[in-house]
Amino acid sequence: MKRTLFSLRLLPIAAACIAGPALATNGYFPHGYGLKAKGMGGVSAALAQDSLGGATNPAAMVWAGSRIDLGGDVFMPKRDAERSGAGIPPINGKVDSDRTAFLVPEFGYNQMIGSDLSLGVSVYGNGGMNTTYPQGAFQCPTPANTFVPANMLCGSGSLGVDLMQLVVAPTVAYRFHPQHAVGVSLLLGYQRFKASGVQAFDNPQFSSAPGSVTNRGSDSSTGVGLRLGYQGRLGDMVTIGAAYAPKMKMGEFDKYKGLFAEQGGFDIPSHYSVGLAFMPTPAWTLAFDFERINYSDVKSVNNPSQVQAQLGTANGPGFGWQDIDVFKLGVAWRMSDALTLRAGYNKGDNPIRAADVTFNILAPGVMKDHYTAGFTWSLDKNSEITGALMVAPRQTVSGDSLFSGLSPFPVGNEKVGMKQSSIGLAWGRKF
């Protein structure tokens, strides 16, 4: 009971920490949850390595045993946007996003109740996106045929968005057979959003709710969802797993009902994963996951940016993101009783099409390839330190500017680019 009370005291602290920006790589989802999984390309469906099972596969918690995990990742994205070939040179140019480092903490606690039942909680950043472009040297035309200083999308001041999603996942898992277990997590979601510098679209021509498009400060919404999971052992060498989370219905961003489709709607899309882990010897583990993220569930994310409708309407323009498939491969080598080394590769689809590049200046989730490495060092028989590193090479998407259909002169080509890395440490203790 004392341990349970201790974990409940830690929960608000962990939740407050994770409420910082949590940027992501597979679209806006992280490449993995938990530093052990992150060091192995994000694989987690068939593995039970820590108490972050509520973020991946709830059934893993009964295999993980009683433990607590607390850590953080420093996420370092480099984002830029460029316009070239416009008929009026002042709107051409390139700009880099200012903020380049974000702390993304994680927390998990799991308690065995007997030998086949576990109760726990995972607290994690589900995903996010942040861009902060300075105004730069752009100049945009006015109705009076003059030019005024502006940002890249012809608004004023800095241009960008800040999206954060936090999930608290109370989890119960049950081993109904010596080799098979199921689990369920209640997903308590919180998200926060703000936009700035999008004044060019904040008018009756483009928006159904002028005044609720940009520079309204932070807005938040909440929602409830569910994650189901299964994990089984096929003999001593093979473990399989599967997990599914249906779409989480979130409340609307009322301050931005003139920007997002469905009057500020921004739900968390459904996603599922299946995985296989193979242990040819006690020292080696090879694991593979397939994950599907259904961004088409969310109109404000999936709707094409070129649709002939006002922003904020039921079928209004969105970011044009497509559903993506993610393939994860990881390997772990238990080098000694004290040291385990990890490596992995994560390959996801780019959700952004060339035709939607303009809106995605705000949200350049273009990453495909992620290379990872990690380790766990045992401090004693119950305590350990885990580290993980991720590097994702630069990716770009380019296409014709959305403004080309709104302007009498050629607006040219736009390109968004991004590369990123992360490094993190976590402490875990079994009890």
What digits encode the pLDDT tens for the residues 111-123? 999 999 999 999 9
Q: Pick from 161, 159, 237, 227: which is nearest to 189 by CA?
A: 227
Q: What is the pLDDT of residue 89?
A: 86
Classify 293 as helix, strand or coil: strand
Residues in the chain: 431
Single out the residue of 95, 140, 90 nearest to residue 406, CA to CA: 140
Mean pLDDT across the chain: 92
CA separation for the pair 25, 293 (Å, rounded): 12
- Is the pLDDT reported for residue 32 higher than 50? yes
Q: What is the pLDDT of residue 8?
A: 41
The arithmetic mean of pLDDT across residues 27-33, rounded, is: 95
CB atoms within 10 A of CB 294: 16
**Rounded to whole angstroms, what are the CA distances from 69 to 84, 130, 299, 308, 430?**
48, 27, 36, 49, 9
Look at residue 409 in the predicted model and tell me its pLDDT.
73
* Mean per-residue pLDDT, 53-79: 96
Torsion of CA 196, 197, 202, 206, to 10 degrees: -110
Q: Report the C-alpha gap between 219 and 208 in whole angstroms.
A: 19
pLDDT bucket at 24, cuts 50 / 70 / 90: low
Establish how many alpha carbons lie within 13 A of residue 95's alpha carbon, considering only the half-sphere containing its beta carbon.
25
pLDDT at 15 over 80: no
Q: What is the arithmetic mean of pLDDT over 269-277?
A: 98
**How does residue 3 score in pLDDT terms, banded at 50, 70 and 90?**
very low
Residue 122, φ and ψ in degrees, nearest 5 = -120, 135
CA distance 209 to 277: 51
- The closest of 103, 93, 149, 94 to 130, measured between CA atoms, is 103
DSSP label of 202: -
What's phi and psi for 6, nearest 5 deg?
-60, -45
Q: 3-state class of 192 per DSSP?
A: strand
Q: Tell whether the torsion through CA atoms of 315, 349, 27 and 297 is positive or negative.
A: positive
The share of the chain scoring above pLDDT 90, in percent, equals: 85
Closest CA to 350 of 395, 296, 294, 297: 395
Q: Computed from CA positions of residues 213, 216, 222, 226, in that sequence, does the dihedral angle turn out positive or negative?
A: positive
Contact 69, 105 (CB under 8 A): no
Q: Can you tell me the mean pLDDT for 328-346?
A: 98
Give the sign of the dihedral formed by CA 27, CA 29, CA 30, CA 33: negative
Beta carbons of 48 and 70 less than 8 angstroms apart: no
pLDDT(1) > 70: no
Q: What number of other Cβ atoms are within 10 A of residue 336's Cβ?
A: 11
**Which residues, listed in sequence order, are joined to residue 109 by a DSSP beta bridge?**
68, 121
The pLDDT of 146-154, averaged and rounded, is 92
48's CB contacts (< 8 A; 6+ apart) are 60, 61, 62, 63, 64, 231
Distance in angstroms (rounded) separating the CA atoms of residues 423 and 431? 27
Residues of the chain with pLDDT > 70: what percent? 94
pLDDT tens per residue across span 167-183: 999 999 999 999 999 99
Q: Where are the alpha helices (DSSP H) in 253-325?
A: 261-264, 299-302
Judge whether residue 325 has pLDDT over 50. Answer: yes
Whether the predicted pLDDT of 383 surpasses 80: yes
Residue 22 token pair: 């949590």
Looking at domain 2-430, its CATH superfamily turns out to be: Outer membrane protein transport protein (OMPP1/FadL/TodX) (2.40.160.60)
